[in-house]
Amino acid sequence: MNIGQKGQISSSNQKTDLPTFRRQLPQTGIVVRRTKSFYYVDVGDVEPRLCRIRGNLFQGNSHKYKIAVGDEVEIDLTAAEDAGWILRMLPRRTQLSRRPSIGVPEQVLVSNADTLLVVASLRSPPFRGGLVDRLLVASSCGGLEPVLILSKADLATSDEITPINSLYSSLGYTVLVTSVPESRGLEFLRVLLQNQTSVLSGHSGVGKSSLIKGLFPDWGIRIGRVSGKSGKGRHTTRMTEMFRLPVGGFIVDTPGIRELEPLVTPEDLDSHFVEFIPYLGQCRFKSCAHLHEPQCAIKEAVASKKISEQRYKSYCTLYKSL
């Protein structure tokens, strides 16, 4: 090939060189990882392709929170030498997002996932229902199918596991009890992951990355220790990253989160607590928030133990934080 310094083809063999320079149609891929300026896009090859975003893609708005891991994008790999360009983001099917707060716009953590794996350890760190319930609300808001994983079962007694398992199973959620050292629940998890896009989410140190490592020991995923003093994780996983599974589908590992405010209005929150739904519309006041109002059907259901106190508490805390 006879290419001049600025990339022009010399006239002598223009014909034979032309196909290399023919513009290919944009192709689509999935964002599997992102840094401040770059997006890694899986197009089905061994390695994801490095891409940048076109400056005017979001018309002057900061793109910082706009394209997330899991987004399907149209890219042009022919235009630039070091990295391709993201030309367009395709419509999302589902999204796991957190509400905007002061100075931070709405943040989509992962898009287009089918399943949200809500991981909560029974011990070390201890079980915390608050985040579990927030994640269940977030999955309901964003269109993901939730699965509750009660991890580190080897550290807990069945007396500790059974009540939590029974509560969430009775609400209709799929609950999976796992232990990586005992290989407990891992086969079920492998089947669950097949041909799906699943997201692991939960506090730091609950064992999200360990579940991936337990299933696929050859993967170079980093596992952290839990601090002996505080019983908290050490935020080992630093960025949200999507991996192609050998069984088909993808899994997304996320950094541990402390809190999550789902993208929901306070007025709509009650409809995302599944066990509240049969009682909605039966309170004395139409706009009942189920906190301090008299003749509230939800509070009556809590008093008669038809709704668990723990879940009602989660609702109240979350309502007030919204």
Ligand X SMILES: Nc1nc2c(ncn2[C@@H]2O[C@H](COP(=O)(O)OP(=O)(O)OP(=O)(O)O)[C@@H](O)[C@H]2O)c(=O)[nH]1
Among 138, 290, 302, 312, binds Zn ion (CB under 5 A): 290
Residues of this chain, 133-192, that bind Zn ion according to CB under 5 A? none
Among 148, 180, 264, 302, binds ligand X (CB under 6 A): 180
Q: Does 288 bind Zn ion (CB under 5 A)?
A: yes
What tokens does 196 get?
Answer: 């799906």
Q: Does 125 bind ligand X (CB under 6 A)?
A: no
Q: Which is nearer to Zn ion, 132 or 283 (CB)?
A: 283
Short-list 252, 244, 221, 223, CA closest to 235: 223
Q: Does 140 bind Mg ion (CB under 5 A)?
A: no
Q: Taking CB within 5 to 8 Å according to partner kind, which of Mg ion, ligand X, Zn ion, none is near residue 251?
A: none
Among 48, 70, 207, 262, binds ligand X (CB under 6 A): 207
* Smallest separation, CB 304 to Zn ion (Å): 14
What tokens does 99 get?
Answer: 């509400």
Q: Does 307 bind Zn ion (CB under 5 A)?
A: no
Q: How far is CA 259 from CA 61, 118, 129, in A?
A: 26, 13, 12
Residues of this chain, 28-67, that bind ligand X according to CB under 6 A? none
Question: Rounded to an integer, what distance in angstroms lies between the CA atom of residue 144 and that of residue 159?
Answer: 30
Residues of this chain, 235-254, that bind ligand X according to CB under 6 A? 235-237
Within the chain, strands assigned E span 27-34, 39-42, 49-53, 72-76, 84-89, 95-98, 107-111, 115-121, 145-151, 174-177, 196-201, 241-244, 249-253
Q: Which is nearer to Mg ion, 257 or 322 (CB)?
A: 257
Q: Taking CB within 5 to 8 Å according to partner kind, which of Zn ion, ligand X, Mg ion, none is near residue 129?
A: none
Q: Which is nearer to Zn ion, 149 or 288 (CB)?
A: 288
Q: Does 155 bind ligand X (CB under 6 A)?
A: yes
Q: Which is nearer to Zn ion, 176 or 288 (CB)?
A: 288
Peptide bond into 125 cis (omega under 30): yes
Tell me if 234 sits within 8 A of 225, measured CB to CB: yes
Among 100, 181, 246, 266, binds ligand X (CB under 6 A): 181
**Which are the contacts of 208, defined by CB distance < 8 A and separation ≥ 6?**
117, 119, 200, 201, 202, 237, 253, 254, 256
Q: Does 112 bind Mg ion (CB under 5 A)?
A: no
* Smallest separation, CB 120 to ligand X (Å): 10
Short-list 112, 196, 204, CA closest to 147: 196
Question: Rounded to an integer, what distance in angstroms lies between the CA atom of residue 254 and that of residue 238?
Answer: 8
Secondary structure (DSSP) of 265-313? -HHHHGGGSGGGGGGTT-SSSTT--SSS-SS-HHHHHHHTTSS-HHHHH
Question: How many residues sit close enough to Mg ion to count as binding (CB under 5 A)?
Answer: 4
Q: Does 298 bind Zn ion (CB under 5 A)?
A: yes
* Smallest separation, CB 213 to ligand X (Å): 7
Which residue is listed with tokens 């579990």? Answer: 132
Q: What residues make contact with Zn ion under the rule CB under 5 A?
A: 283, 288, 290, 296, 298
Q: What residues make contact with Mg ion under the rule CB under 5 A?
A: 208-209, 236-237
